[in-house]
Structure 1
Amino acid sequence: MDIQGYCAPGFEALYDAFAINFSDHGDVGASFCAVHQQEIVASLWAGSADRGGERPFEEDTLVNVFSSSKGILALIALQQVAAGNLDLDLPVAHYWPEFAAAGKQSITGRQLLCHRSGVIAFRDRVADELIYDWQGALTQVAGTAPWWEPGTQQGYSPFLYGWTLGGLIEKASGQSLMSLYRAGIADPLALAGGFGAVGHRSAEIADVGALKKPLPELRDNAIGRSIKQDRQGPVATAFTNPVSLMTGTNSEQWRSALIPAANGHFCARDLATVYGDLASEDPQLLPRDLLHSATAEQSRGQDAILQADVAFGCGFIKSAAARDLQFGGPAGFGHPGAGGSVGFADPEAELGFGYVTSRMGQSLFMDQRAIGMMECLYRLL
């Protein structure tokens, strides 16, 4: 495999670690980037961006990073807190009156961000096309009842998170999510990617598909087991209602829609740049005090949907001892995406990390490819 890109002196071992992901772990197209003390110390890419192998993967080739999108969405919400437009401890209905329906009148923005709202899936079966209709999805989620009493337990919201939090951001700010992303994040950092409907600086989007050979499992597939045991339960419903959430990924309809919990399209450099800023001593994107409080632990426990012990800050997953949730040091925070992509910040090391891949593994958190890059990188720091 012809590895393209750059490694700063002392970081050359990352070339070999990246190559192993292609030779041993099934990668077909991927990119990796690390930002240390606000300087790019590695930016690598290789492979092809399309299924036919005709388009080369470039540094700014965008990949659907699935739930890694949530970290960027959370950042937009926190910027509205910094601007004085949003108070996370007020009810969402203060800004969005329709959201009070079906027992949601007391849910706060903080509960949305740390997955304690109980609004984890549509209760009624919805049409496949709904996810491509931003206003329609907001209306639907505003009328949806929580699956349990808000605040009583932690339950990850795979897709509705994007509409609940995105709707709150728009109502509180009076601006579109697209314009806030551009003005607050994409333009200041010159990012190549964005959410589907935001539009991208890069014209290249990689086709995603499953790894031909599954990677070794790092934990029991409790989610898959839960889905099989109860097809109508909250875990199955959260991931499959509607089924287009699982099947539409490479379509133009998906890529042009705004599904902010799951259809962010970014390159590794984008994620490393964002998290590199958040890991710096003087972040550009958020006031340092707000960032510190927002990335402190807000909720921890055996998550009702992820079926794993997970700790959340305000929209970010906290670093843990488990290898697939170890975002550098103990102060690390970020968000993995289904399939293998991940971005995280390690403030103690002043490090931003980004890895995106077009070949999806089965882990909901990090898999051996990102872990291998992370472990190699930390040996070199």
Structure 2
Amino acid sequence: MTAIQGKAAPGFELVRQAFLANFSERSDIGAAVALVIDGELVVDLWGGVADPALGRPWQADTLANVWSTTKGVTAACFAMLAERGQIDYDAPVAKYWSEFGAAGKENVTVGMLLSHQAGLCGFRNPATIEDFYDAERAAARLAAAEPFWEPGTQSGYHAITIGFLATALFRRAEGRTIKQFVKDEFGDLDIHIGLPEERTQSAATMLAPPELSSTGMVGEPTEAQLAAMANPIIDPLLPNTDAWRAAEIPSANGFATARGLAKLYGALAGSGDLDGRQLVSRKTIATATDEQIRGMDAILSIPASWGCGFLRNSDGVYGPNEGAFGHSGWGGSFAFADPTCKLGLAYTMNRMGTDLMGDPRNVALVDSVYASLSS
């Protein structure tokens, strides 16, 4: 039986049971789950193996690459900028980044960009993984590009490219890259864009079935889907490489603990206060999570409702309350806020699953939290 460490406050035994069952029944290898309610960390559990080859156990400070769960962290960074009056969701991106206005994109607003409406879901010309490792060059390439659809007419998941676009815009508005901003603002939460060199021994080794690749997310692909998911094809084991860990990809190479993510979302679910520091106001959180667009995603072919970078809880994946918001990552990680219950919940792991939605580990944990709250 997998040894589980950490704590679950009285009344949250069901969460511990669900987490343990993720190992015994749902094939988890190494993982962590954390829950913050009304500012209090009530669940903080971890267990299993961070690196099976070495037998290195998952520790309290083990960092996992959380893939697209990173996008929620990036959305929080933009909300903080909006709070400080340094960016306006309704303003054109070109106001801050003039080059972006090329090829018919002059009217794309910040909110449209962050809600995947800009039509820049991938590169039009052949790209390699190495192109991901120069964020500014990748952003310049996208800024000059013609969109795959008329911006504002639909959303289509910018799986990787939103990270390059976001950090380029962020730097022009704020002065720092998102990677640096996260280091300065969230470093004490153990949330990072890329893996700090000094934390190499804390990183979980990502594991994936041989058949898992980015192209498996779509069926018969359109031109836009090919650009988003197959140019280049993304290997799920990239987070184990030095180049990926050193890069700045604020859409996909976040490294974090579940505890840090739960604390961040716990703050966003409440007053916006984190350990006595005001991140954002309730008003700004409401603006950041207000629906920008709803409909069938042109890339993933699933229904989605987007705020300004946050995925809104339109399908119940983040529990029963419609006001919940967050983001999930390829393979199974997730983090979200539920303002109704003032909670932040996060899960990180190293064994990637194949479910695009409805990963049974996620479902079990979310269900156990709300069952605990209603009991």
TM-score past 0.5 threshold: yes
Which of 240, 248, 270 pairs up with 2:238? 248
Does structure 1 retain, via aligned residues, the 8 Å contact 2:154–2:293? Answer: no
Q: How big is each residue's C-alpha offset from its partner over 1:323-360, in whole Å with a ceiling of 9 and x where there is no partner?
A: xx234511100001110000000001011000011011
* Distance in structure 2 (CA, Å) of the matches to 1:249 and 1:126: 19
Q: Secondary structure at the match of 1:260?
A: coil
- Are the structure 2 counterparts of residues 350 and 154 from structure 1 closer, same or farther at C-alpha, using a change threshold of 3 Å? same
Q: Secondary structure at the match of 1:353?
A: strand
- 1:274-285 residue pairs with structure 2 within 5 A? 274-283=264-273, 284-285=278-279
- Higher mean alpha-carbon deviation, 201-210 vs 103-112, is at 201-210
Match of 1:294 in 2: 288
TM-score by length of structure 2 reads: 0.92
TM-score by length of structure 1 reads: 0.90
Which of 232, 235, 238 pairs up with 2:225? 235
- Are the structure 2 counterparts of residues 202 and 16 from structure 1 closer, same or farther at C-alpha, using a change threshold of 3 Å? farther
**Matched residues, percent identical?**
38
- The residue type equivalent to 1:321 in the other structure is D
- Are the structure 2 counterparts of residues 255 and 201 from structure 1 closer, same or farther at C-alpha, using a change threshold of 3 Å? closer
Q: Secondary structure at the match of 2:34?
A: strand
- Are the structure 2 counterparts of residues 257 and 366 from structure 1 closer, same or farther at C-alpha, using a change threshold of 3 Å? farther
Shift, 1:272, TM fit: 0.5
Shift, 1:241, TM fit: 1.4
- Are the structure 2 counterparts of residues 308 and 336 from structure 1 closer, same or farther at C-alpha, using a change threshold of 3 Å? same
- The residue type equivalent to 1:181 in the other structure is V
- 1:184-223 residue pairs with structure 2 within 5 A? 184=185, 186-187=186-187, 190-196=188-194, 203-210=201-208
- 1:1-381 residue pairs with structure 2 within 5 A? 1-184=2-185, 186-187=186-187, 190-196=188-194, 203-210=201-208, 224=216, 226-227=218-219, 229-230=220-221, 233-244=223-234, 246=236, 248-283=238-273, 284-322=278-316, 325-381=317-373
Shift, 1:319, TM fit: 1.0
Q: How big is each residue's C-alpha offset from its partner over 1:2-38, in whole Å with a ceiling of 9 and x where there is no partner?
A: 1111011121232221111001111000000000111
Q: Secondary structure at the match of 1:334?
A: strand
* Distance in structure 1 (CA, Å) of the matches to 2:75 and 2:120: 16
Aligned length: 366
* Distance in structure 1 (CA, Å) of the matches to 2:4 and 2:217: 38
Does structure 2 retain, via aligned residues, the 8 Å contact 1:78–1:286? Answer: yes
* Distance in structure 1 (CA, Å) of the matches to 2:160 and 2:113: 12
Structure 1: 5+ residue runs without aligned partners? Answer: 215-222
- Are the structure 2 counterparts of residues 160 and 183 from structure 1 closer, same or farther at C-alpha, using a change threshold of 3 Å? same
Shift, 1:233, TM fit: 1.9
Q: How big is each residue's C-alpha offset from its partner over 1:225-277, in whole Å with a ceiling of 9 and x where there is no partner?
A: 744x23x6211220121235655221011011111100001111011011011
- The residue type equivalent to 2:106 in the other structure is Q
Does structure 2 retain, via aligned residues, the 8 Å contact 1:239–1:246? Answer: no
Q: How big is each residue's C-alpha offset from its partner over 1:177-229, in whole Å with a ceiling of 9 and x where there is no partner?
A: 23322333x14xx2113110666768501011125999xxxxxxxx84744x2
**What's the C-alpha RMSD, in Å, of the aligned pairs?**
2.1
- Higher mean alpha-carbon deviation, 105-114 vs 276-285, is at 276-285
Q: How big is each residue's C-alpha offset from its partner over 1:134-162, in whole Å with a ceiling of 9 and x where there is no partner?
A: 22212222222210111111111101111
Does structure 1 retain, via aligned residues, the 8 Å contact 2:269–2:338? Answer: yes
- Are the structure 2 counterparts of residues 200 and 309 from structure 1 closer, same or farther at C-alpha, using a change threshold of 3 Å? farther
Shift, 1:296, TM fit: 1.9
- The residue type equivalent to 1:164 in the other structure is L
* Distance in structure 1 (CA, Å) of the matches to 2:166 and 2:279: 19
- Are the structure 2 counterparts of residues 197 and 52 from structure 1 closer, same or farther at C-alpha, using a change threshold of 3 Å? closer
Match of 1:219 in 2: none
Match of 1:220 in 2: none
* Distance in structure 2 (CA, Å) of the matches to 1:199 and 1:328: 40
